[in-house]
Chain A
Amino acid sequence: MIDQLLEHTRGKVDGADALWRREEQTAVAFESGRLKAAGISEETGLNLRVLAGGRMGVAGTTAAEPDVAALVVRARASAGLGEVVDLAFPRPSSQSLPPIPTFFDRTANASLDDLIRIGRLLVERLSRPDCQVNVSVEREVAETAVGNTVGARGEYRGTGIAVSAEVTRIAGDDVLMIFDQYVGADMPGDADLESLVRSIETRLAAALKIVTPPDGALPVIFTPAGLAAVVLPLEQALSGKTVLQGSSPLAGKVGQQLFDERLAIVDDPLTPGRPVSRPIDDECVASRCTSLVDRGLVGRFVYDLETAARAKTESTGNGRRGVFGKPHIGYTNILFRVADGAGMRHPSAPTDALGGGLLDGVRDGLIVDDLIGVGQGNVISGAFSHPVGLAYRVQHGEITGRVKDAAVAGNAYDLLKRIGGFGSDGRWLGSRWSPSLLLEGVSVASR
């Protein structure tokens, strides 16, 4: 399909690239412990970008038998209004693409019954008399092909499976919701499902007792799930797009020590076994690992082809595109690592205990597992202020119960200057891998 489409652009435009993707999803949903629905979804899409007269245009279609001529006409019309951009498509690589496993037969071949079995197991393990359990299991098989008019091509197949469980407990007007998820390219093993169950059980057990929240500038342990409010500003500020627009507070600070010297963050599309891993990006740029923060220094910003061309740098292989619209910057797998000079390693034995083994030094503080309203407001400034969705009080190194009616506030850039501790509970959460982080001086207010 890609070859046919690109052939059709010849002589009509100065250059083009395209993405074709076919996705099949199978999903089962358990509502309040009962299997209620099973579904499939199939989608095929084609996205074309052209350069004509130095200007860029895009067009896309979900038609099963796309009219390629019409698509080229639409893309050219789009380019007619577009901005001038000095964009060069990547040439075919002399080396073969990085051989990373993205496709797992076990996942692709899993039957509906296999998916139902996983869901049933979770429902059985998580059922409690006073709780409602919702579980969904979603499997995806995708084929992707990318290509451009200077001869670069890439093709790969991928699988992904997401197993999500949510336990809701309502007592009077107190609503407690605890969610967790396994996401991978390969099917979850018994150990994966077991750790999903334990993760929910641990947080549920610690949440049954409600205690009063503390007040003041306190140490707060952000769990891998709770870290979102701290990570989001960094993700925005490290995007080549916001740097180019002048709205990133990290612009012009590459190489400066802005964070704790043990902090390292990478974007890594080559991590084996992750559903967003890929050998090549959606613009034919071979995948590579990008160091975003290294030993506390601001590393590289991420770029797609267009922003790289405008910033006079190279794409980092972070081009992402859907069926409609033009390619944009997207992160792949974000990994938090501890850099201690002697290479990357973890400080202590792995644990799945709540708090990641960081409780010891905390005299009075919080564990934050979920905040309400993350992503609202002026995110890129780093300032956040959110009521807690799920948080626990820590006193003298022990979890004493769940706190409600509390809010935490701070500035992500300031808090990451000095990290009180890296937990040994590193794990995947969607496409982010991180341990818990102990951050000092977080403003905690009760109401």
Chain B
Amino acid sequence: MKDRLTAAVKKSRAGYTEIRVERTWSSAVAFRGKRLETATVSEDQGGFVRVLNKGCGWGIASFTSLDELPAMVARANELSRAVRLDEPIRLADTPPQTADAVLDLDGDVRGIALSEKKSLLDRYNGAMLAVSDKIVDTQASYRDEVSEVWYVNSEGTSLYQLRPEIVLSGTAIGRRDGNIEKGLESIGLRKGWNSVQNFGAQFRAVGERAVALLDAPRVKGSAYPVILDNELAGVFIHEAFGHLSEADFVYENPQAREMMTLGRKFGKPVLNVGDNGAASGLRGTLPYDDEGTPTQDTPLIKEGILVGRLHSRETAAKLGERPTGNARAISFRHPPIVRMTNTYIAPAKNGVGFADLIRDIKLGVYACGAFGGQTMLENFSFTAAWGHMIRDGQVAEMVKDVVLAGNLFQTLDRIDHIAGDFTWNQMGGGCGKGGQFPLPVTEGAPHVRIEEALIGGDM
């Protein structure tokens, strides 16, 4: 395949040409309540061509018919030439890479019978349903894939990558009279069959949470000291800060660049944030990004100061910085754009624990898990999956409808304590941007304390 792509790149009349071909084998099982929804095996394949000519813009073609490859290269070249630019697009230099990067399949999912996958999920789904007769509905899903990606460009890069992925998720709906509550868990790993055998307890907890929430009062809306658990702190840093650190937000926009000037103070010295696409075994991990740049650990905030951002080759050239290996596409149907990989808040070095974070809080909220989060640049909203009040330094009663809203700059600056209990939280789902969803990413954080944040609820 590499030879075929190399030949097509050689024949290209464009200044710069890259070709990406993907072949993805996947299987999926889903339950809704006690009923199996689907059990299927799929094969998806296609190609992507992107070319650039001097004084011109990008020409792009994506297609499912690989026989069309030479025609598509020619077509992309025509499209590029139709886009005239006064200010040329430049790509930052990266040394050509040649490699076969085969990630550990950890129990090749292609060799496991679909019926075994159904049994596994049946067991996890059953664990949710068995919690209580108040569980009126569940959704459980299993999806695995092994994807092969070939990438060749006209600068001599030639890569083959084999990437496994496996995602489990469970939702339990508890209902009593008109009151409906939800528990949610998802697990996403860049691993295989061996890695998903022991999640029964997590699925049972989903059911237990949906039932417990039926009795929980709505949190009273107000400003509180708030502790984010590891999962929500991870979602927070990804959504609220991570997207602003993607250089395509600033590279063409002088005002945005000013707002995100390196050296700007973003938080107290306790705050350290980064993005690490090279971390081992995580869902956002890739040896090379979709422009063939090796991934790396990129510091973004160091001791409260903005020190870096995430780049593609185009954004790096424009800002005179170095590519960071963050150009990613969800599939051959899309061009690579600047995306996160594994984004984290680093743990405090002095070993502060959770107990130290809540000890001096008289009245506060412990916000746990995440139903979701969205940012509109400097404003964000996160819905915790559940919460607890903190009273006199102790975790107290469970509360529901914990929505955390605020301004990014204020909130980051109000992070005053960070614990040492770092975990990666390997969630399923994924990140959405520019019509590309779901992109596999991971978030990691320890417990994080915000001096004061607005919690919505009964107002």
Decide yes or no: A376 and B373 within 8 Å by CB, A40-B60, A43-B46, A81-B118 being known contacts. Answer: yes
Cβ of B28: which chain A residues have Cβ within 8 Å of it? 325
B403 at the interface (CB under 8 A from A): yes
A58 at the interface (CB under 8 A from B): yes
Partner among A34, A60, A174 whose Cβ is within 8 Å of the Cβ of B378: A174
Partner among B64, B378, B383 whose Cβ is within 8 Å of the Cβ of A62: B64
Cβ of B223: which chain A residues have Cβ within 8 Å of it? 447
State A444–B403 Cα separation when bound (angstroms): 14
A381 at the interface (CB under 8 A from B): yes
Of A57, A177, A247, A404, most buried by chain B (CB within 10 Å of CB) is A247
A405 at the interface (CB under 8 A from B): yes
Across the interface, do B83 and A35 meet the contact criterion of CB distance under 8 Å?
yes
Which B residue sits closest to A405, measured CB to CB? B407
Contacting residues of chain B (176-206) with chain A, CB-CB under 8 angstroms: 178, 180-182
State A404–B65 Cα separation when bound (angstroms): 49
Chain A 62-90, CB within 8 Å of chain B: the 1/0 string? 11100000000010011011110000000
Partner among A43, A324, A377, A389 whose Cβ is within 8 Å of the Cβ of B376: A389
Cβ of B59: which chain A residues have Cβ within 8 Å of it? 37-39
Which B residue sits closest to A324, measured CB to CB? B42
State A81–B116 Cα separation when bound (angstroms): 10
B382 at the interface (CB under 8 A from A): yes
B132 at the interface (CB under 8 A from A): no
Which A residue sits closest to B62, measured CB to CB? A41
| Stretch binding the partner chain, chosen from B252-260, B293-301, B352-360 | B252-260
Distance (Å) between the CB of A162 and the closest chain B CB? 11
Distance (Å) between the CB of B404 and the closest chain A CB? 10
Across the interface, do B80 and A373 meet the contact criterion of CB distance under 8 Å?
no
State A174–B409 Cα separation when bound (angstroms): 11
Distance (Å) between the CB of A39 and the closest chain B CB? 3
Cβ of A77: which chain B residues have Cβ within 8 Å of it? 41, 114
Contacting residues of chain B (282-309) with chain A, CB-CB under 8 angstroms: none
- Considering only CB atoms and an 8 Å cut-off, how many residues of chain B contact the other chain? 82
Chain A 208-250, CB within 8 Å of chain B: the 1/0 string? 0000000000000000000000000000000001000111010
State A42–B85 Cα separation when bound (angstroms): 26
Decide yes or no: A61 and B372 within 8 Å by CB, A36-B58, A37-B83 being known contacts. Answer: no
Across the interface, do B36 and A59 meet the contact criterion of CB distance under 8 Å?
no
Cβ of A97: which chain B residues have Cβ within 8 Å of it? none
Partner among B180, B256, B382 whose Cβ is within 8 Å of the Cβ of A247: B180
Decide yes or no: A372 and B380 within 8 Å by CB, A36-B58, A81-B114, A81-B115 being known contacts. Answer: yes
Assign chain A's interface to a size class.
35 or more
Distance (Å) between the CB of A294 and the closest chain B CB? 23
Cβ of B37: which chain A residues have Cβ within 8 Å of it? 326
A443 at the interface (CB under 8 A from B): yes
Partner among A28, A113, A130, A246 whose Cβ is within 8 Å of the Cβ of B175: A246
Partner among B40, B372, B454 whose Cβ is within 8 Å of the Cβ of A373: B372
Partner among A64, A247, A381, A383 whose Cβ is within 8 Å of the Cβ of B65: A64
B33 at the interface (CB under 8 A from A): yes
Cβ of A44: which chain B residues have Cβ within 8 Å of it? 64-65
B61 at the interface (CB under 8 A from A): yes
Contacting residues of chain B (211-264) with chain A, CB-CB under 8 angstroms: 221, 223, 252-253, 255-256, 258-259
Distance (Å) between the CB of A343 and the closest chain B CB? 35
Distance (Å) between the CB of A20 and the closest chain B CB? 13
Across the interface, do A59 and B333 meet the contact criterion of CB distance under 8 Å?
no
Across the interface, do A447 and B64 meet the contact criterion of CB distance under 8 Å?
no
Cβ of B38: which chain A residues have Cβ within 8 Å of it? 58, 78, 82, 325-326
Across the interface, do A38 and B379 meet the contact criterion of CB distance under 8 Å?
no
Cβ of B406: which chain A residues have Cβ within 8 Å of it? 387, 447
B425 at the interface (CB under 8 A from A): no
State A37–B50 Cα separation when bound (angstroms): 10
Chain A 404-427, CB within 8 Å of chain B: the 1/0 string? 110101000000000000000000
Cβ of B259: which chain A residues have Cβ within 8 Å of it? 170, 172-173, 175
B45 at the interface (CB under 8 A from A): yes
B381 at the interface (CB under 8 A from A): yes
Which B residue sits closest to A39, measured CB to CB? B60
Across the interface, do B401 and A447 meet the contact criterion of CB distance under 8 Å?
no
Cβ of B409: which chain A residues have Cβ within 8 Å of it? 173
Chain A 149-177, CB within 8 Å of chain B: the 1/0 string? 00000000000000000001111111101
Across the interface, do B181 and A378 meet the contact criterion of CB distance under 8 Å?
yes
Chain A 93-136, CB within 8 Å of chain B: the 1/0 string? 00000000000000000001100100000000000001010000
Contacting residues of chain A (162-214) with chain B, CB-CB under 8 angstroms: 168-175, 177
Across the interface, do A40 and B61 meet the contact criterion of CB distance under 8 Å?
yes
B371 at the interface (CB under 8 A from A): yes
State A381–B401 Cα separation when bound (angstroms): 11
Across the interface, do A40 and B372 meet the contact criterion of CB distance under 8 Å?
no
Across the interface, do B137 and A377 meet the contact criterion of CB distance under 8 Å?
no
Across the interface, do A245 and B32 meet the contact criterion of CB distance under 8 Å?
yes
Across the interface, do B180 and A64 meet the contact criterion of CB distance under 8 Å?
no
A380 at the interface (CB under 8 A from B): yes
Contacting residues of chain A (26-54) with chain B, CB-CB under 8 angstroms: 28, 31-32, 34-45
Across the interface, do A404 and B63 meet the contact criterion of CB distance under 8 Å?
no
Distance (Å) between the CB of B372 and the closest chain A CB? 3
A375 at the interface (CB under 8 A from B): yes
A362 at the interface (CB under 8 A from B): no
Distance (Å) between the CB of B454 and the closest chain A CB? 4
Across the interface, do A42 and B253 meet the contact criterion of CB distance under 8 Å?
no
Partner among B64, B66, B372 whose Cβ is within 8 Å of the Cβ of A375: B372
Across the interface, do A78 and B41 meet the contact criterion of CB distance under 8 Å?
yes
State A358–B175 Cα separation when bound (angstroms): 38
State A343–B457 Cα separation when bound (angstroms): 40
Across the interface, do A404 and B221 meet the contact criterion of CB distance under 8 Å?
no
State A428–B453 Cα separation when bound (angstroms): 37
B87 at the interface (CB under 8 A from A): yes
Across the interface, do A81 and B36 meet the contact criterion of CB distance under 8 Å?
yes
Partner among A82, A174, A378, A386 whose Cβ is within 8 Å of the Cβ of B36: A82
B57 at the interface (CB under 8 A from A): yes
Cβ of A323: which chain B residues have Cβ within 8 Å of it? 44
A385 at the interface (CB under 8 A from B): yes
B274 at the interface (CB under 8 A from A): no
Cβ of B32: which chain A residues have Cβ within 8 Å of it? 241, 245
State A325–B39 Cα separation when bound (angstroms): 9
A289 at the interface (CB under 8 A from B): no
Partner among A42, A132, A445 whose Cβ is within 8 Å of the Cβ of B456: A445
State A326–B182 Cα separation when bound (angstroms): 25
Which B residue sits closest to A64, measured CB to CB? B65
State A159–B41 Cα separation when bound (angstroms): 31
State A130–B376 Cα separation when bound (angstroms): 19
Across the interface, do A389 and B64 meet the contact criterion of CB distance under 8 Å?
no
Cβ of A405: which chain B residues have Cβ within 8 Å of it? 379, 407
Distance (Å) between the CB of B207 and the closest chain A CB? 14
Across the interface, do A42 and B381 meet the contact criterion of CB distance under 8 Å?
no
Of A39, A241, A375, A378, most buried by chain B (CB within 10 Å of CB) is A39
Identify 30 residue pairs between A and B in the complex whose beta-carbon atoms are under 8 Å apart, listed by A's number.
Answer: A34-B85, A34-B252, A35-B83, A37-B58, A38-B79, A39-B58, A42-B61, A43-B333, A44-B65, A59-B42, A60-B40, A61-B43, A81-B114, A174-B378, A177-B376, A247-B137, A324-B42, A326-B37, A372-B374, A372-B376, A373-B374, A373-B382, A376-B382, A377-B371, A378-B401, A386-B381, A407-B456, A407-B459, A445-B459, A447-B406
- 10 nearest A-B residue pairs (beta carbon): A39-B60, A376-B372, A373-B381, A64-B65, A170-B255, A32-B252, A37-B58, A175-B377, A387-B405, A38-B79
Beyond A32-B253, A43-B64, A407-B403, 19 extra complex contacts between A and B, CB < 8 Å? A28-B83, A38-B82, A40-B76, A41-B63, A81-B114, A83-B36, A112-B82, A170-B253, A324-B40, A326-B38, A373-B373, A376-B382, A377-B371, A378-B181, A386-B456, A387-B380, A404-B379, A407-B454, A445-B456
* B-to-A contact residues, CB < 8 Å: 28-29, 32-33, 35-46, 57-68, 75-76, 79-80, 82-85, 87, 89, 114-115, 118, 136-137, 173, 175, 178, 180-182, 221, 223, 252-253, 255-256, 258-259, 333, 335, 371-383, 401, 403, 405-407, 409, 454, 456-457, 459
